[in-house]
Structure 1
Amino acid sequence: MTTGPAASASPTLAERWLTARRSGQGMPSYEAVVLGNLGRFADGVALIATEGGLPARILWCGAQFGQWLQRDAVALDVRELSDDLLQPLREVAAAALLSGEPARTRCDRVIEGIVVTTELLGLPLANRHGEPLILLGLEGEPSRYDLVKAMFSATDQGMLALSTVRDGTGAAVDFKIVALNEGAARMFGRPMPLLQWQRLTAVVPRLAETDALSRLIGVLGRTDRTVFELGYSRSDGSEAHVKIEAGCIGDLVAVTLTDIGDLKAREASVRLLFENNPLPMWLIDAADARFLAVNDAALSHYGYSRGQFLAMALPDLHGSAHTGPRACRMGSEALWCHRRADGADIEVNLFERAMEFDGRPAILGAVIDVTERRRAEARIAHMAHHDALTDLPNRVLFRDRLGEAIARQKRTGERALLLCLDLDHFKTVNDTLGHPAGDELLRGVAVRLAACLREEDVVARLGGDEFAILVGGSEALGSLGVLARRIIADLSRPFRILGQDVHVGASLGLARLPQDGDDPDLLLRNADLALYRAKGAGRGTYRCFEPEMDAQIQARRALEQDLREAFAAGRLAVFYQPLIATGTGRITGFEALLRWKHAARGFVPPAEFVPLAEETGLIGPIGEWVLRTACAEAATWAPQVRIAVNLSPAQFRNRALVETVARALADSGLAPDRLALEITETVLLAENEAHLAILHRLRSLGVRIAMDDFGTGYSSLSYLRSFPFDKIKIDRSFVRELGASAHCAAIVRAVAGLGASLGIVTTAEGVKTPAQLARLRAEGCDEVQGFLFSHPLPVAEARRLLASDGEGERLSA
C-alpha cells in the first residue's frame, strides 16, 4: 500500500486532486475534482460512498470500471463483491481516508486460470455536506499471468502463487498469496480459503526475522530458481520444516514447498494432486514415452482401462490430425490431436514437466481438453464472415474476396465480373406471408444462385434481399449477358414456400474489373448504380455500369440538396385544388398539394421530388409543414368547406404521427371533422397491423380518413373491410377511360354503388371533360376533382375561387 503525492502512476488525475486541495480548504470536493474535470479518465473510475471509514456503495462508475467488476455496478453495495475485489477496495479506501492523501494498492484476481493484477488509485473527496467519498480509478494496463503454467513450473508438492507487495518507493516488502494447492494448505495447517489473499508474513509467524523473506525477494527479476529451507510453527503449534523452490514470472512468484521432515505426508500430497485431480494426468517414461501411471480422470476422459493405458505409449494416443513427431516441451503448453477409445478425435493442451518416478527419469503430463472451445472459436470465426440465414459469405468476406480478385488482376491480368442483385417484390412476400416465409425464400434464392455459378465463383448475401456475385476469368466477361439472363430466369421461377407458390424476380447491376474500377468500394458502388438503373427500367432485367450513371446519381444528389435548401428557406408552397359536389356544383373542400418552384428548373414535378423526399426522410418535416399550413388556411374558410391532406406511407414510420395531427388541429383551431387525411393502400400493405392501429387513433381524433387511388391495388376491397373509410377516391386512370372502356365504366359504377351502400363518400379524380362529368353524375359519384374545374391554385387564387363560390357561382361544365 502506498500513499502520498509522490507515488503517482497517473500524475494528471492526482495533480488535479492536489490542485483542488491547494485551491480550497481541507479535503477536495466532489465538484472540484469530478464534475467536468475527469475527461479521458471518466471511463475507468468509480465514485464510492463511505460509512465508518470503509467503502459502502458505488454511486456511479465508468464503462471500463464496470467491465472490470464484471457486473452492473450502479448503486452496488460493495459488501456484495467477492473477497478478491472487496479486500483491496477496502484497503485503498481506508488508507486514503486515514491519510487524507491519494493511496494506491494492487488488486489480484484469478480469472479462468489467469492471475490479473490491476493497480488501483484512491482519491479522498468530500461532498457538499462534508461527508467523505472515494474516487477509485484503474491505473495502467492490467498484468496477466497464467496460473496453470506458474503452478506447473514448481514441483508436485505444495504450490503457491505469490504476488509482490511493494512500498511507496517501489521496493518489494512482502508477498500476497493469490493461489495455492491443497498441499500448501496442509503444510500451513489452515484451509485454502483462509490462506488465499493473505500476506505471507501474516501466514508464517516471524517470517521477516528469518532470511527466507529476503531470499524470496531476491528471486524477483532473476531467470533461475532459488532453493532454500525454512523452519516455522504451524497454527496448531507443531513445527514444520520445508524445502522451498521459487521462481518468478514478472511480479508473480511461483513457490514449491516440500515437507522434508515427513516422507509419508509428501507422498499423500502427491496422490492428492495426481490421482484425485479433475484434470487427466499421467506419468510416462522419459526414454520411450510408455505410460507408467495414469489418474482416474484420464481413464474417464479417454475411455481406456488402466491396463490398456499402461500397455500403450503416448504416440498411441495421436489422432488423425497428428502431423509430426511428439515434441516434448518441458514446462510449456503444446496443442495435440488425441484419439479417444471410441475413435473420436479431441484437441488438448498438454502441460509437461520432467521429474523422477521410482528412481528413473519420467515426464508428468496434464491435459486440458480444448475441443469444444476450438470448435466454438471456429464457429465464431465462421459466423463473423458468413450470413447466419443463408450461410453464404457476408459483406466482410465478399469484400475480402473482391480485394483478392483485384490483386490477382493486377498481378496476372485476369479480369472479373461483379454482379449486385436485388429481389423484386420481396417486401410484398414479407408483408403478406410473414418474415418466416421471407427467410425461407432467401434460403431458396441462395441455393439457386449457387446452382447458376461455378465452384470457384463467389456468391454472398450483403443484407436484406441484396446479394452479390463475383465471377472470375475472361470467359465470364464474354458471356455476362448469358449469365445475367440465366440468373433472372432461375429466380423468376416460382418458389414453393409454406405450401404455396411465391413469385419474385430479380434485378441485376454489373460492373467489370478493371474497366469499371480497381477498388472494392468503387466496384461495389458502380454495380449498385447499374442495379439502380435496372430497377428503374421496370425490374426483372440487368444493366451494365456506364459512366453517365454516375452523373445521373450526382444530379439526383444535387436535386436532394436543392430540396433541403428550398424547404429550409421556405421556398416550397402549398397549392389547393377544389373538390366539387356533383349534385350542386359547389365547392365542398380543397385538396392540399405540395409544389416546388426551382430557381433554375421552374416547377419540379411532384412525382420527381416527393419520392426523393420519402427516400431521404425529408417527407417527415415537409409533411408536417404541409399539414400545419393547410389546417391553418382551412380554419379561415367557411365552416362547411373541408381540407384534404395526403399522408405518405413513410410518415407512418413516425410513431408520433397522431400527436402531430392533433397538434396541427389544436394550433390552427380547425374542427377535426373538417380535415380529411388521404392514404394509399401502400400504407396498409406495409406493417398492416401497426398502421391500422395508427389509422384508428387518427379516426378517434375526429378526422376523416380517405383511401386515395382506389382500385389500382390488388387488395383495395379487403381494406374497406379492415378499416371504416369515410371516403374513397376513384383513381384517375378509370375516369380517363370512361368513354372508351366498358370495364372502367363498370368499375366506376361498382365503386359508386359500393360507397353508397356502405355510407362512404366517393370522389372521382382527374375529371377533364364535360362528358366524363356527366357519366360520373349518372353513375352516382358524390364528388369530382380535376382540370375541368380548376388546376391546383396558389393560396390567394384559391381564396378568390372560394369567395366566388360563396357568391353563388357554380363550378360546372
Structure 2
Amino acid sequence: MEFPASGRMRGLIKLPMRLMLSLIILSFMVALVTLCFIASDLNQQNTRQNHLLLEKALLTRQEVMQFHLSDNAEWGEAYENLHRTVNKEWAWTRQNLGESLFETFAYEGVFVISPQGETVYSVIDGKPQPRSFSAWLGRDLLPILQQLLQNSDGKALSRFVVANHQLVLISASWITTGGDNSVQPVAGPPSLMIFADRLTPAKLLQLGHEYGIRQLRVDFTLPASAEPLADSLRLSTDGQPALLRWQNANPGGTLLTGLLPLLILTMLIVLFGALMLMRSALRKAQLNDENTWLLAQSQQALSASERRFRDIAETTTDWIWEMDAHLRFSWISGRFPVVTGFNSEEWLQRTLDEFLLCDERQRDRLKQFQHAGGQLTLSGCRYLSAQHQPRYCNLTLKRVSLAQGDPGFRGSATDVTLEMEAQARAHYLSHFDELTGLANRVQMREFLTGKLSLPMPSQPMLAMIMIDLDKFKPVNDLFGHAAGDKVLHEVSERIRSTLNGNGLVARLGGDEFVIILPEAGTHAQIDALCQQLIKQLNAPFMVYDNTIQIGASLGIALAPQDADNASDLLRFADIALYKAKNSGRNHWIFFHRDMEEKIVQRREMEHALREAIQEDQLRLVYQTRYDLLTARISAVEALVRWQHPRLGLLMPDQFIPLAEETGLISALSDWVLFNACRDIARYRPEMAVSVNISATELQDGALPERIARVLQLSGLPSQRLEIEVTESALLSDPEKTLAVMQAVKALGVKFLIDDFGTGYASLCYLRAFPFDGIKIDRSFISPLTESQQARQVVENMIGLGKAYALSVTAEGVETPMQMSQLQDLACDAIQGYYIGRPLPLPQISTTAPVSEA
C-alpha cells in the first residue's frame, strides 16, 4: 500500500509555528516596554497629584484663616471695643478675641494695630502679651499689608512670609462694623486685625499626612533663581526663597518590582509551552499525512447513504417522519412517543389531517402544498397528546422521492408547547393583574383610548373613578403580605360585584384601582355608585381569623367635560383623589379646574422650599428661657423662618406641613440643627439650645447618626442640645420611636415634651420614654391669673412633672403676675414675650433676662 509523501503537512506546519514564536517574543518585548512607560507615567502622575493636593491644602488654609479673620474683624462689637476704644476686658476676659483662637485653630499670633501703626492688643501663643507685631514677626510688614488692604478695600487677605527662618501664614483685615446698623463708624483710618499661623515642621508633617504627602518640609536653601526640584513647590514669600519638599511614593518602581519578574517568568513558560506544542503538532502532521489516503478510501463507502441523511439533516429539529403522496405516515422516528405519548405503530398509515387540529388557513396551505410540492413550514400547529392535553408544534414538509422512487414527503416536527404557553402567559400578564385578575394599566389605557376615540354623545358621559384604599398599609405591617394580598383580592371582587358587569375595573398597582364607566349617567347616579362602593369597602374583611377594617377615597373625572384624552383624564382623576384623601378620606370628590391650579401651586411651593434649603433663604430666631431658680437666662429655643423672595417672611406653620408631606423635613431639620448648634457654640457657649423635631423624624432610624454628625461639625457639647417633641409624636409606632429616642439619648442629648397637655398620649409615656422635661402649653398659662381652676390645673401639671423628676417650663408667659404665680408654684423655668421676643442670637441680651412685653 502506497501513501503520499509524509513531509507535506510538516512543511505546512513549520512556517506558522515559526511565525507564532516570533509573535510571542515580539508581544513580550512590547509588554516590557509598555510596563516601563506605565511606571514612568505613574511617577509623573504622582508628582502632579502631590503638587495639586499641596496647592489645594495651602489655599484652603489661607481661605479658612481669612474666614476666621473676617468673622472677627467685620463685627460691630469688635469695632466698638477694638477700634473706638481698646477694651481688653471685652477681648480677653470675655474671650471674644482670646485664647480660643490658639486652642482651636493654633493661631500663634493675634494682633490689633491702631491707625497710627501701634500694636494695641496682642495674644501670643494663647496668652495676652504686650508685644508689637513687627517685633514678634521679626520683620516690618505693616506698610506692605496696609497697601494691600487699601487695594482690597479692607477685605481680609492672606500671604506666606519667611520670618526668623520659619514659614508664617499672615492674614490681615480692617476692623469694620460688618453691616451692624446699631454701630456708627467714626471718621479716620481703620484699625488693623492680624492673625498669624507659624507652619512649624510638625504642622507641615500633619498637613502632608492629611493629604497623603509624605515627609512634607520647608527648605530655605534653594536660591531664588534656581529651578525647583520635581517633588517640590516654590512659595511666593516676598522675594525670600521658600520651597516645600516631600518624598515621592514612587508607584512606578513598586509596579516594576512586582510585575517585571512575573512578566519574565510568564514569557519563559509560554515559550517552553509553544516549543512543546510545535513538536507535538509536527508529530501529528506526520500521522495526518499517513491517514489522509485511508480517509479518502472510506468516503466511497459513505456515498450510497449520503443523500437520505442530507435531506434529514436539512429538516431535523425534533421528531422526523416520512409520508406517502396522500400524507399518510409511513415512518416515524423514535422521538415521536417521547414527545406525544403515542406509540409510533398506531399512527402508521394514518393521515396528517387526523393528527393535527388545523384551522382553515392551515388546511388550505396543506392542500396547496400537496399538489404544488416544494417545501412548507407551518407554525403553531395544534394537536392533542395521548393524555388529551393540547400541544403545539412547528411542521416542516418537503416533497421527496422515497426509496422505490415513489413520490412522498419527509419532514420534522418541533414541539413548541412551552413557547406558545409562555406567549399566552406573557399576553395575559401584559393585560391583566396577576393577583386580582383585573385589567392592568395597559389594558385599561387601551380600553379608555378606544372608548374616547368613538363619537361621544352629550349623555350619557364617560366617568373614570380612581380608588385608593385607606388604612391598607398597616394590614401588611400587622398581618403580613399574604393577608394584604387576600384583602386586595376580596376588594376586587367587591368592586366587580358592585358594578354588576358594567364598565371596566383595573388595578394600577399597590392599593390603587380604577373604574371606567362608558355610560356613567348623571352625577346623581355616579354619587349613588360611589356611596355603594364605599359601603362595600368599609364592610369588615375576615382574613385568617382576623377582622380587618379599611376604607377608600375616590376621585372622579368625566369625559368629555373634564378631558377628552386618556392621559389628562387619568391625571385629573388622580388630582381629585388626592383632594379626597386630604379632605378626610372615605368619601369621593369630582374634579374641578381649580384643583389643578392648587396642585401646581403646591408643586411650585415644594420646589421653592427645596431651593430655600439649598440657597440659604431660611433664618433662625431664638426665644429665651428664663430659669426661675437661678434668675438667669439658661437656654434658648431655635425657631425657623423662611424669607421667601416673593411672599416675604413665612412662619413655620406655613411650610413645615409641606416639608413633612414631600419628604423635605429631614433636610430642613438638618439645616436647623446644624445652624442652631453652630450659633450657640459661637455666640452663647454658656447656654443650651432646644430644637423642635417633627413626629415623622422620630420614625427615622438615621436620626441619631444625623444628630451626632451635626454635633461633631458644630463643636457643640451634646448636653447643651435639647430636642422638643409633641405628645402626638409618641402615638405612631411607639416601639420604634422609643428605640430612636434611646439612641439619641445615648449621645447625651436631652428630650422635652412640647405643648404638654394638648395631646392624647398616655401619662405612662412620661415614665416609659426618656424625657428630661416638659413644657406646659400656653393655653394653660393664659387664664392663670383669672381662674382658680386654671391655677389648680397648672399646679397639678407641675406636680406631675416633679413626680417624674422632670424639669417644668411654662410657655406663653406675658405678664409679671403670671411669672410671680409660677414662682409660687415652684415652676422651674418660664418662656414667653415677657421674657423676650424671638430675635437673632447676637441681639439677645445676657444681662437683662426680663424685657418689656
TM value normalised by structure 2: 0.56
Q: Is 2:295 aligned against 1:237?
A: yes
1:273/1:529 CA distance change after superposition, 3 Å: closer
Amino acid at match of 1:363: F
* Cα shift at 1:687: 7.7
Aligned residues: 569
The AA in structure 2 aligned to 1:237 is: L
| Whole-angstrom distance in 1 between the partners of 2:543 and 2:292 | 77
Partner in structure 2 of residue 390 of structure 1: 436
Does the 8 A contact of 2:624 with 2:633 survive in 1? yes
**In the alignment, what sits opposite 1:82?**
none
Superposition map of 1:255-404 within 5 A: 259-260=302-303, 262-263=304-305, 279-287=318-326, 289-310=327-348, 312-319=350-357, 325=363, 327-328=365-366, 330-359=375-404, 360-404=406-450
Contact 1:710 1:716 in 2 (8 A): no
- Give me the whole-angstrom Cα distance separating, in 2, the residues matched to 1:477 and 1:30: 81
d(CA) in 1 for partners of 2:790, 2:533? 38
Q: Distance in 2 between matches of 1:407 and 1:701?
A: 64
- Tell whether the 8 Å contact from 2:677 to 2:714 is kept in structure 1 after alignment: yes
Q: Whole-Å Cα distance in 2 between the matches of residues 348 and 743 of structure 1?
A: 91
Tell which structure's C-alpha radius of gyration is larger.
2
Aligned 1:245-256 pairs, distance under 5 A: none
Q: Distance in 1 between matches of 2:332 and 2:458?
A: 58
Task: Tell me, in whole angstroms, the C-alpha distance in 2 between the residues paired with 1:490 and 1:732.
Answer: 45
The residue matched to 1:304 in structure 2 has which SS? coil
**1:420-435 aligned within 5 A:** 420-435=466-481
Alignment of 1:803 with 2:847, yes or no, is yes
- Structure with the higher strand share, 1 or 2: 1
8 Å Cα contact 1:355/1:363 also seen in 2: yes
Between the aligned partners of 1:567 and 1:30, the Cα distance in structure 2 is 50
SS of match in other structure, 1:327: helix
Match 2:547 to one of 488, 493, 501: 501
When residues 721 and 395 of structure 1 are mapped into structure 2, their CA distance, relative to the original with a 3 A threshold, is: farther
Other-structure match for 2:528: 482
CA distance in 2 between partners of 1:753 and 1:521 (Å): 61
Cα offset, 1:432, TM superposition = 4.6
**Which of 1 and 2 has higher RCO (CA within 8 Å, sep 6+)?**
2
CA distance in 1: counterparts of 2:356 and 2:529, whole angstroms: 49
Offset of residue 694 of structure 1:
4.6
Moved more, 513-522 or 629-638: 629-638
In the TM superposition, 1:452-467 aligns within 5 A as: 452-467=498-513
Query: Are the aligned partners of 2:539 and 2:549 in contact in 1 as well (CA < 8 Å)?
Result: yes
- In the alignment, which of 710, 719, 722 is matched to residue 673 of structure 1? 719
**CA offsets 1:98-138 (integer angstroms, 9 cap, x no match):** xxxxxxxxxxxxxxxxxxxxxxxxxxxxxx9999xxxxxxx
Q: How far off its partner does 1:296 sit?
A: 2.4
Partner of 2:519: 473
Task: Give, in whole Å, the separation in 2 of the partners of 1:747 and 1:296.
Answer: 96
Distance 1:436 1:745 in 2: 54
Structure with the largest fraction of helix:
2
Q: Which amino acid aligns with 2:424?
A: A
Retained in 1: the 8 A contact 2:751–2:773? yes
What's 2:203 paired with? none
Q: Deviations over 1:233-280 (max 9, x none)?
A: 9674342557xxxxxxxxxxxxxxx943x45x877x5999799x8823
- 8 Å Cα contact 1:509/1:529 also seen in 2: yes
CA distance in 1, matches of 2:450, 2:738: 50
1:582, 1:784 within 8 Å by CA — same for their partners in 2?
yes
* Residue aligned with 2:410, SS: strand
- C-alpha separation in 2, matches of 1:599 and 1:531: 32
* Contact 1:677 1:705 (8 Å CA) reproduced: yes
TM-score, with structure 1 as normaliser: 0.59
Is this contact kept in 2: 1:461–1:468, CA < 8 A?
A: yes
- Matched residues in 2 for 1:692 and 1:321: separation? 70
- The AA in structure 1 aligned to 2:508 is L
Say if 1:319 and 1:485 are closer, same or farther in 2 by CA, change over 3 A. Answer: same
Counterpart residue type for residue 293 of structure 1: W
CA deviations on 1:666-704 (whole Å, 9 max, x unpaired) are 333321011122345776777877766554443332212
Partners in 1 of 2:489 and 2:823 — Cα distance? 53
Q: Kindly tell me: are residues 340 and 653 of structure 1, through their superposed partners in 2, closer, same or farther at Cα, counting changes over 3 Å? A: same
Deviations 1:608-640 (Å, cap 9, x if unpaired)?
311222334443333222112211232357666
Q: Note if contact 2:683-2:842 (Cα within 8 Å) is conserved in structure 1.
A: no
Q: 1:283 to 1:728 in 2, by over 3 A?
A: farther
CA distance in 2, matches of 1:749, 1:235: 118
Give the superposed CA RMSD: 4.9
How far is 1:512 from its partner? 0.5
Residues 443 and 364 of structure 1, relative CA distance in 2, 3 Å threshold: same
1:385/1:796 CA distance change after superposition, 3 Å? farther
Change (3 A) 1:664 1:471: same
Aligned identity (percent) is 35
CA distance in 1, matches of 2:767, 2:605: 41
Cα deviation digits, residues 289-323 of structure 1 (max 9, x gap): 22222222212322222332226322222349888
Q: Distance in 1 between matches of 2:588 and 2:791?
A: 38
Worse-superposed segment, 715-724 or 345-354 = 715-724
Q: How much does 1:455 deviate?
A: 2.3
* Greater CA drift, 409-418 or 447-456: 409-418
> Which is further off, 663-672 or 684-693?
684-693
Letter in 2 for 1:357: L
Q: Sort the Cα spacing of 1:753 and 1:30 in 2 relative to 1 into closer, same or farther, 3 A.
A: farther
- In the other structure, the counterpart of 1:166 is none
